[in-house]
Amino acid sequence: MNTYIQKANDIEELAQFLSDLNNIKSSHIGYCGKSSGEIYQTLQDDFLEKNGELAFMIARNEANEIIAAIGVDIDEQTAEVWGPFNKMESDSMVTQLWEQLRKAYPNIRTFYFFINQENTSQLAFAESLQARKTGEHLILEIQKASARSVSSKRSVRYSEADFAAFESLHSHMFPNTYYDAKTIDSRLSEENVLKVLKTEDGQVQGYAYYEIDKECAEASLEYIAIAPTFQNKGLGTLLLIEIIDEIFSYPRITEIKLSVSNTNRSANHIYFKAGFEQQDILVSYVLSSASLS
Protein backbone atom coordinates (compact mmCIF):
# COMPACT_ATOMS: atom_id res chain seq x y z
CA MET A 1 0.00 0.00 0.00
CA ASN A 2 1.34 3.38 -1.01
CA THR A 3 1.22 6.02 1.71
CA TYR A 4 2.58 9.51 2.08
CA ILE A 5 3.23 11.85 5.00
CA GLN A 6 2.38 15.56 5.13
CA LYS A 7 1.59 18.40 7.50
CA ALA A 8 -2.12 18.54 8.30
CA ASN A 9 -4.04 21.57 7.02
CA ASP A 10 -7.71 20.50 7.11
CA ILE A 11 -8.93 21.07 10.67
CA GLU A 12 -12.36 19.53 10.19
CA GLU A 13 -11.00 16.35 8.61
CA LEU A 14 -8.33 15.91 11.28
CA ALA A 15 -10.78 16.62 14.12
CA GLN A 16 -13.11 13.87 12.89
CA PHE A 17 -10.23 11.39 12.51
CA LEU A 18 -8.98 12.10 16.04
CA SER A 19 -12.50 11.89 17.47
CA ASP A 20 -13.12 8.50 15.85
CA LEU A 21 -9.95 7.00 17.32
CA ASN A 22 -9.93 8.77 20.67
CA ASN A 23 -13.32 7.32 21.58
CA ILE A 24 -11.70 3.86 21.50
CA LYS A 25 -9.78 3.04 24.69
CA SER A 26 -7.15 1.08 22.77
CA SER A 27 -6.18 4.25 20.89
CA HIS A 28 -7.13 6.87 23.49
CA ILE A 29 -4.76 9.77 24.28
CA GLY A 30 -5.53 11.75 27.43
CA TYR A 31 -4.62 15.21 26.12
CA CYS A 32 -7.10 14.95 23.25
CA GLY A 33 -10.84 15.43 23.64
CA LYS A 34 -13.44 13.02 22.34
CA SER A 35 -16.03 15.12 20.52
CA SER A 36 -15.06 16.40 17.08
CA GLY A 37 -16.37 19.87 17.96
CA GLU A 38 -14.18 20.15 21.06
CA ILE A 39 -11.15 18.83 19.17
CA TYR A 40 -11.79 21.23 16.28
CA GLN A 41 -11.77 24.20 18.65
CA THR A 42 -8.57 23.07 20.38
CA LEU A 43 -6.82 22.49 17.05
CA GLN A 44 -7.82 25.97 15.93
CA ASP A 45 -6.74 27.61 19.18
CA ASP A 46 -3.55 25.69 20.01
CA PHE A 47 -2.24 23.92 16.90
CA LEU A 48 -2.90 26.27 13.97
CA GLU A 49 0.25 27.93 12.64
CA LYS A 50 0.60 31.22 10.79
CA ASN A 51 0.99 29.45 7.44
CA GLY A 52 -2.38 27.74 7.84
CA GLU A 53 -0.88 24.35 8.62
CA LEU A 54 -1.34 22.47 11.88
CA ALA A 55 1.36 21.21 14.25
CA PHE A 56 0.40 17.71 13.16
CA MET A 57 1.99 15.17 10.85
CA ILE A 58 -0.46 12.84 9.11
CA ALA A 59 -0.18 9.80 6.87
CA ARG A 60 -2.61 9.19 4.00
CA ASN A 61 -3.37 6.05 2.02
CA GLU A 62 -4.00 5.66 -1.71
CA ALA A 63 -7.61 6.78 -1.24
CA ASN A 64 -6.31 10.01 0.37
CA GLU A 65 -7.73 9.02 3.76
CA ILE A 66 -5.89 9.81 6.99
CA ILE A 67 -4.58 6.57 8.48
CA ALA A 68 -2.22 7.89 11.16
CA ALA A 69 -1.41 11.17 12.91
CA ILE A 70 0.75 12.71 15.60
CA GLY A 71 0.80 16.32 16.80
CA VAL A 72 2.31 18.59 19.42
CA ASP A 73 0.75 21.30 21.58
CA ILE A 74 3.85 23.47 21.93
CA ASP A 75 4.72 25.78 24.81
CA GLU A 76 8.15 27.28 24.07
CA GLN A 77 10.55 24.30 24.28
CA THR A 78 8.08 21.76 25.71
CA ALA A 79 5.17 19.98 24.07
CA GLU A 80 2.26 17.71 24.92
CA VAL A 81 2.11 14.91 22.36
CA TRP A 82 -1.25 14.13 20.78
CA GLY A 83 -0.80 10.60 19.56
CA PRO A 84 0.42 8.69 17.84
CA PHE A 85 -2.98 7.76 16.41
CA ASN A 86 -2.76 4.82 14.04
CA LYS A 87 -5.41 2.86 12.12
CA MET A 88 -2.83 0.44 10.75
CA GLU A 89 -1.47 -2.65 12.47
CA SER A 90 2.09 -1.82 11.45
CA ASP A 91 4.17 0.37 13.78
CA SER A 92 6.53 1.50 11.01
CA MET A 93 4.20 4.34 10.01
CA VAL A 94 4.21 5.66 13.58
CA THR A 95 8.00 5.71 13.60
CA GLN A 96 8.09 7.62 10.31
CA LEU A 97 5.56 10.16 11.59
CA TRP A 98 7.56 10.69 14.78
CA GLU A 99 10.79 11.23 12.83
CA GLN A 100 9.11 13.78 10.56
CA LEU A 101 7.60 15.56 13.56
CA ARG A 102 11.00 15.80 15.24
CA LYS A 103 12.50 17.28 12.07
CA ALA A 104 9.67 19.82 11.80
CA TYR A 105 10.11 21.01 15.41
CA PRO A 106 13.79 20.63 16.34
CA ASN A 107 13.58 23.20 19.15
CA ILE A 108 11.32 21.09 21.36
CA ARG A 109 13.43 19.87 24.27
CA THR A 110 10.83 17.98 26.34
CA PHE A 111 7.87 15.87 25.24
CA TYR A 112 4.99 14.80 27.50
CA PHE A 113 2.77 11.78 26.82
CA PHE A 114 -0.58 10.91 28.44
CA ILE A 115 -1.72 7.49 27.23
CA ASN A 116 -4.66 5.27 28.16
CA GLN A 117 -3.61 2.13 30.00
CA GLU A 118 -5.48 0.08 27.38
CA ASN A 119 -3.63 1.78 24.50
CA THR A 120 -0.89 -0.83 24.59
CA SER A 121 0.60 -0.03 21.19
CA GLN A 122 1.32 3.59 22.11
CA LEU A 123 2.52 2.65 25.58
CA ALA A 124 5.01 0.40 23.80
CA PHE A 125 5.92 3.30 21.49
CA ALA A 126 6.70 5.57 24.45
CA GLU A 127 8.76 2.81 26.04
CA SER A 128 10.65 2.30 22.77
CA LEU A 129 11.68 5.97 22.88
CA GLN A 130 12.96 5.35 26.42
CA ALA A 131 10.51 7.91 27.77
CA ARG A 132 10.39 7.97 31.56
CA LYS A 133 7.14 6.89 33.22
CA THR A 134 6.08 9.57 35.70
CA GLY A 135 2.79 8.27 37.04
CA GLU A 136 -0.63 6.72 36.67
CA HIS A 137 -3.75 8.84 36.83
CA LEU A 138 -7.43 8.11 37.35
CA ILE A 139 -9.84 10.05 35.17
CA LEU A 140 -13.00 10.57 37.19
CA GLU A 141 -16.32 12.02 36.11
CA ILE A 142 -19.61 13.02 37.68
CA GLN A 143 -22.77 14.09 35.85
CA LYS A 144 -25.03 16.85 37.10
CA ALA A 145 -28.04 14.53 36.98
CA SER A 146 -26.41 12.14 39.47
CA ALA A 147 -24.94 14.73 41.85
CA ARG A 148 -26.38 15.25 45.32
CA SER A 149 -27.98 18.61 46.05
CA VAL A 150 -27.02 20.47 49.22
CA SER A 151 -29.55 22.64 51.02
CA SER A 152 -27.09 24.31 53.39
CA LYS A 153 -23.32 24.51 53.26
CA ARG A 154 -20.66 24.54 55.95
CA SER A 155 -17.96 25.89 53.65
CA VAL A 156 -17.67 29.65 53.19
CA ARG A 157 -15.94 31.97 50.77
CA TYR A 158 -12.32 32.66 51.58
CA SER A 159 -11.48 36.07 53.02
CA GLU A 160 -8.13 37.81 53.40
CA ALA A 161 -8.26 37.10 57.13
CA ASP A 162 -7.87 33.41 56.23
CA PHE A 163 -4.68 33.90 54.22
CA ALA A 164 -2.06 32.97 56.82
CA ALA A 165 -3.83 29.73 57.77
CA PHE A 166 -4.59 28.91 54.14
CA GLU A 167 -0.99 29.56 53.04
CA SER A 168 0.38 27.35 55.80
CA LEU A 169 -1.98 24.48 54.97
CA HIS A 170 -1.58 24.78 51.20
CA SER A 171 2.22 24.79 51.33
CA HIS A 172 2.12 21.75 53.63
CA MET A 173 -0.32 19.75 51.49
CA PHE A 174 1.09 20.79 48.08
CA PRO A 175 4.72 21.82 48.64
CA ASN A 176 5.85 21.93 44.99
CA THR A 177 2.68 22.81 43.16
CA TYR A 178 1.94 25.01 40.15
CA TYR A 179 -0.18 27.57 42.11
CA ASP A 180 1.14 28.67 45.49
CA ALA A 181 -1.15 30.39 48.00
CA LYS A 182 -0.28 33.90 46.81
CA THR A 183 -1.02 32.94 43.20
CA ILE A 184 -4.40 31.48 44.13
CA ASP A 185 -5.21 34.61 46.15
CA SER A 186 -4.34 36.80 43.16
CA ARG A 187 -6.50 34.74 40.79
CA LEU A 188 -9.70 34.91 42.84
CA SER A 189 -12.78 36.24 41.04
CA GLU A 190 -16.42 35.35 40.51
CA GLU A 191 -15.26 32.38 38.41
CA ASN A 192 -12.13 31.44 40.38
CA VAL A 193 -13.39 30.46 43.82
CA LEU A 194 -11.69 29.44 47.06
CA LYS A 195 -13.92 27.91 49.74
CA VAL A 196 -12.79 27.09 53.27
CA LEU A 197 -14.10 24.91 56.08
CA LYS A 198 -13.69 26.31 59.59
CA THR A 199 -14.33 25.33 63.17
CA GLU A 200 -16.70 27.44 65.25
CA ASP A 201 -13.76 29.43 66.57
CA GLY A 202 -12.48 30.16 63.03
CA GLN A 203 -9.71 27.58 62.66
CA VAL A 204 -9.28 26.52 59.01
CA GLN A 205 -9.97 22.80 58.64
CA GLY A 206 -9.73 22.52 54.88
CA TYR A 207 -10.24 24.26 51.56
CA ALA A 208 -11.12 23.75 47.91
CA TYR A 209 -10.20 25.91 44.93
CA TYR A 210 -11.97 25.66 41.58
CA GLU A 211 -12.12 27.62 38.34
CA ILE A 212 -15.07 28.08 35.99
CA ASP A 213 -14.79 28.75 32.25
CA LYS A 214 -18.25 30.05 31.39
CA GLU A 215 -17.48 30.38 27.69
CA CYS A 216 -16.57 26.70 27.36
CA ALA A 217 -18.99 25.57 30.10
CA GLU A 218 -16.16 23.80 31.90
CA ALA A 219 -15.04 23.57 35.51
CA SER A 220 -11.72 22.49 36.98
CA LEU A 221 -11.29 21.54 40.62
CA GLU A 222 -7.66 22.51 41.12
CA TYR A 223 -7.18 21.74 44.82
CA ILE A 224 -9.02 20.18 47.72
CA ALA A 225 -7.40 19.41 51.08
CA ILE A 226 -8.22 18.77 54.72
CA ALA A 227 -5.70 19.60 57.45
CA PRO A 228 -4.10 16.43 58.90
CA THR A 229 -5.56 17.02 62.38
CA PHE A 230 -9.09 17.06 60.91
CA GLN A 231 -8.80 14.10 58.54
CA ASN A 232 -10.82 10.89 58.85
CA LYS A 233 -13.85 12.81 60.12
CA GLY A 234 -15.82 12.90 56.85
CA LEU A 235 -14.88 16.52 56.15
CA GLY A 236 -13.25 15.77 52.80
CA THR A 237 -16.39 14.14 51.44
CA LEU A 238 -18.59 16.87 52.92
CA LEU A 239 -16.51 19.63 51.33
CA LEU A 240 -16.33 17.86 47.97
CA ILE A 241 -20.10 17.33 47.81
CA GLU A 242 -20.65 21.02 48.58
CA ILE A 243 -18.18 22.09 45.88
CA ILE A 244 -19.78 19.79 43.30
CA ASP A 245 -23.21 21.26 44.07
CA GLU A 246 -21.83 24.79 43.76
CA ILE A 247 -20.10 24.10 40.44
CA PHE A 248 -23.28 22.63 38.98
CA SER A 249 -25.14 25.81 39.91
CA TYR A 250 -23.36 27.52 37.00
CA PRO A 251 -25.43 27.44 33.80
CA ARG A 252 -24.47 24.92 31.08
CA ILE A 253 -22.04 22.94 33.25
CA THR A 254 -23.36 19.38 33.17
CA GLU A 255 -20.29 17.32 34.08
CA ILE A 256 -17.07 17.57 36.06
CA LYS A 257 -13.93 15.63 35.17
CA LEU A 258 -10.87 15.18 37.36
CA SER A 259 -7.44 13.67 36.92
CA VAL A 260 -6.00 12.33 40.18
CA SER A 261 -3.00 10.20 41.02
CA ASN A 262 -3.69 6.47 41.08
CA THR A 263 -1.24 5.91 43.93
CA ASN A 264 -3.24 7.29 46.86
CA ARG A 265 -6.28 5.05 47.02
CA SER A 266 -7.36 6.17 50.50
CA ALA A 267 -7.44 9.83 49.41
CA ASN A 268 -9.21 8.97 46.16
CA HIS A 269 -11.93 7.18 48.11
CA ILE A 270 -13.60 10.51 48.87
CA TYR A 271 -14.19 11.11 45.16
CA PHE A 272 -16.10 7.85 44.82
CA LYS A 273 -18.07 8.56 48.02
CA ALA A 274 -19.05 11.94 46.55
CA GLY A 275 -20.39 10.31 43.38
CA PHE A 276 -17.50 10.36 40.91
CA GLU A 277 -17.08 7.35 38.63
CA GLN A 278 -13.87 6.07 37.09
CA GLN A 279 -13.63 6.57 33.32
CA ASP A 280 -10.02 5.74 32.45
CA ILE A 281 -6.56 5.07 33.81
CA LEU A 282 -3.90 7.13 32.02
CA VAL A 283 -0.14 6.71 32.13
CA SER A 284 2.13 9.76 31.93
CA TYR A 285 5.61 9.83 30.43
CA VAL A 286 8.23 12.50 29.88
CA LEU A 287 10.92 12.39 27.20
CA SER A 288 13.92 14.70 27.07
CA SER A 289 15.35 15.37 23.62
CA ALA A 290 18.81 14.87 25.14
CA SER A 291 18.03 11.17 25.42
CA LEU A 292 17.23 11.10 21.69
CA SER A 293 20.50 12.60 20.49
Burial call 115-140: b when 16+ CB within 10 Å, e when fewer: bbeebeebbebbeeeebeeeeebbbb
Is the pLDDT reported for residue 182 higher than 80?
yes
The span from the CA of 144 to the CA of 171, in Å, is 32
State the pTM of this model.
Answer: 0.81
Q: Which residues pair with 85 in a beta bridge?
A: 69
Name which of 266, 196, 202, 200 is nearest 238 in CA terms.
196
What gap in Å lies between CA 173 and CA 250, rounded to an integer?
28
Q: What is the pLDDT of residues 102-141, one digit of tens each?
A: 999 999 999 999 999 999 999 999 999 999 999 999 999 9
4-136+283-291 belongs to which CATH class?
A: alpha beta
pLDDT of residue 174: 93
Examine the pLDDT at 292 and tell me if it is beyond 70: no
User: Mean pLDDT score of the chain, rounded to an integer?
Assistant: 94
Long-range Cβ contact pairs of 31-35 (< 8 A, separation 24 or more): 31/73, 31/80, 31/81, 31/82, 31/114, 32/82, 32/83
CB atoms within 10 A of CB 23: 13
Supply the CATH classification number for the domain 148-274.
3.40.630.30
Note the pLDDT tens digit of each residue in 66-93: 999 999 999 999 999 999 999 987 788 8
What are the sequence ranges of the domains in the chain? 4-136+283-291, 148-274
| DSSP 8-class letter at 45 | I
Domains 4-136+283-291 and 148-274 share a fold: yes
Residue 57 pLDDT > 90, yes or no? yes
